[in-house]
Chains A and B, each alone.
Chain A
Amino acid sequence: MTASSGARRVVRTLREIPFLVWGPLLLAVVLAAGVAAGELVPRVGPGRIAELEAGVEVDTGPFLLTVERARVLDELPGVAEGDDTARALALVVTVSLTSDRTLSGAMLADSVALRGIDDDGPVPAPNVVVLADGSHLDALQPGLEYEVAMVWEQSAEHPEPVELDVEVTGRTLRDSAIDGAAQWLDRTPVAAGTVPVTPMDSQAGADNR
């Protein structure tokens, strides 16, 4: 049997199959090919973590924030009452909202974490203080920019850091599967990097910025 006669036999066989059989089969093959093509397209977006740099703005979803500088302090009155057993680590951050509604300061505190502060994983900021008046930032209003200090306490047993390892977490605005309300969900790291520390200053009590 030659190749051409074999091909003619295949074609003849296919012609005898009813349309109602090969039509849906062909449709299924086309749809499967489309799905496979979608899976094979390289995705860009969630999962890629940008390099964090001091002075460079990061879009976390709900916030536009810039880590300006890092400080290590003996204490920060009213926030971290340091003693010989602990020191205060602070990031000065400027932040504004992307949304048109009030957001809680707790979400901002949860968006910036320090890695290597102790023996556990990234630690979100326990204190967020407005530099202008020393108040706790418990709510951010749309259209305003806030300059804040995000403050952590670290045991003095750890060596004094020369840089802070920072991880910024982002969120996506979508409808909740529970109640259908639009919420900032799906916490995902969006930026990470180190910020050099301004060394401990003998005038830290007078100038905590």
Chain B
Amino acid sequence: MRHRRRAGWRPIMGTVSVGALLVVALALGQAVERFLPSRDDTLRPFERAGVVGEPLSLRYGTIEVGQPDGSTVLHAPGGVYSTTGVYVVVPITFTAKGEPQPLAYVAIRDAEGRVYRAGSRRNPWSMLGAAQPGIPRQAQIAVELPVDAVAGAQVVLAPRPNDMDHRRDDVAVVDLGLTATDAQEWATDDDGVTLEPAYDGERPPS
């Protein structure tokens, strides 16, 4: 009986050693994976920063963002809209490069990272389809935001409508240069701001 017990300990110790080595290997693998770049990092878009009034060159064309305006009332081709926040209207000039190209994703991103998409009737944006290469397309976007989202807001533009498809592509991010003073001024304005329809050609001097 004692001989059987002593001989039985060797396979047990062997099993425990193998198990311990497995656990150590798994822990090492976890630690290594923590230092490798995540899948989201490797697929992120390339954000190109710009400012109002300066042309921004991207893979698919050039974007220039004009001086924004705002009010609590928006006069748009689809109707007259009023908001409890502020409507911000941003003029945009897009010149496609190489091939006809739309700008199908337009949004305003505030300083806290909240994203306000344009492209609905209450938040209109119309490119009139794809812009022909070399011909400037003039368009405007209008987005309603809470008043506290205006200061530090940026406009974000990309060719594809789904932001998951912005992976590894150029995305324009232009600081609108807005302040809390602009927000307060527009929050008390009910004269309204008008959204102009899109057209091709140079923007007339203001």
User: Residues on A close to B: CB < 8 A?
Assistant: 18-20, 23, 100-102, 104-105, 130, 132-133, 135-139, 141-146, 179, 181
Contacts and interface: CB of A to CB of B under 8 A. Distances in A.
Which 5 A-B residue pairs are closest in the complex by CB-CB distance? A143-B146, A139-B120, A102-B117, A100-B114, A138-B120
B162 to A, nearest CB: 9
A101 B146 CA distance: 13
15 contacts: A23-B15, A100-B112, A101-B117, A102-B107, A102-B117, A104-B120, A133-B79, A135-B79, A138-B122, A139-B123, A141-B116, A141-B143, A141-B144, A144-B83, A179-B164
Contacts of B148: 143
B114 A143 contact: yes
Contacts of B12: 19-20
A132 B190 CA distance: 13
Given A18-B8, A20-B11, A20-B15, A137 B114 contact: no
Interface string B107-127: 100001111110011110000
Contacts of A132: 82-84
Contacts of B113: 100
A101 B115 contact: yes
A138 B118 CA distance: 11
A144 B144 contact: yes
Contacts of B123: 102, 139, 141
Q: Is the interface of A mostly helix, strand, loop or mixed?
A: loop
Given A135-B79, A135-B122, A141-B143, A181 B164 contact: yes
A142 B121 contact: no
Contacts of B15: 19-20, 23
Contacts, number: 75
Interface in B1-29: 8, 11-12, 15
Contacts of A19: 8, 11-12, 15
Contacts of A101: 114-115, 117
B136 interface: no
A143 B84 CA distance: 10
A41 B145 CA distance: 45
A44 to B, nearest CB: 31
Contacts of B144: 141, 144
A20 B19 CA distance: 13
Contacts of B141: none
B85 A143 contact: yes
B180 interface: no
Contacts of A142: 114-116, 146
Contacts of A104: 120
A23 B146 CA distance: 63
B149 A143 contact: yes
Contacts of B80: 133
B81 interface: yes
A187 B15 CA distance: 49
Contacts of A133: 79-82
Interface string B49-89: 00000000000000000000000000000011111110000
Contacts of B107: 102
A94 to B, nearest CB: 11
Contacts of B79: 133, 135
A21 to B, nearest CB: 11
Contacts of B112: 100
B83 A136 contact: no
Interface string B84-99: 1100000000000000
Contacts of A145: 84
A143 B110 CA distance: 11
A61 B164 CA distance: 22
